[in-house]
Each structure stands twice: as C-alpha cells, then as structure tokens.
C-alpha cells in the first residue's frame, strides 16, 4: 500500500509540472529558446543515463542475465 502512496505522490508531482509553462510566458523568445535548449540537453542526458544505468541493468538483473557487460552496473 505504501508503494501506491509513493506512486500517487510521484504522478501528482509530475502532473503539476504541466503548470510550469506559465512561468516562461513573460520571457523573450531568444532567452526562452536558450533556456529550452539547456533543459532539453539536460533531459536527454538524464533519460539516457536512466535508461542505460538504472532501468536496463534492473531489467537484466530481473531476468537473471548476469553475464552481460551491463551487470557491472546492476545492483
């Protein structure tokens, strides 16, 4: 049940992110573009990092495939 609470708290936080758009309305187009570029770069890195360093190793460990090079990272 505590899992459900954590899940709900997380998705509600994610949902609230939908409201951040309004903060950037006043910004100049050129400034906004530069901010967005850095944010997109940051997001790319975290998604790639997450996929290759957390999710895939976890999936590998789950399957029991411990001989892969990925298992270096698997907990």
Q: Which residues bind another protein (CB under 8 A)?
A: 3-4, 6-8, 10-15, 17-22, 24-25, 32-34, 36-56, 58-59, 62-63, 73, 75
Report, in Å, the least distance between residue 69 CB and another protein.
16
Cα distance between residue 27 and residue 24, in whole Å: 5
Look up residue 64 and give its two tokens: 């029991």
Report, in Å, the least distance between residue 20 CB and another protein.
6
| Contact predicate 59/46, CB 8 Å | no
| Contact predicate 60/68, CB 8 Å | yes
Report, in Å, the least distance between residue 72 CB and another protein.
12
């Amino acid at each position: 049940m505590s899992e459900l609470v954590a899940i709900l708290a997380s998705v509600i936080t994610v949902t609230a992110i939908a409201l951040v758009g309004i903060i950037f309305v006043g910004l100049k187009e050129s400034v906004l573009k530069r901010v967005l570029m850095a944010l997109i770069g940051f997001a790319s890195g975290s998604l790639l990092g997450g996929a290759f360093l957390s999710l895939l190793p976890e999936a590998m460990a789950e399957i029991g495939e411990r001989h892969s090079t990925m298992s270096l990272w698997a907990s």
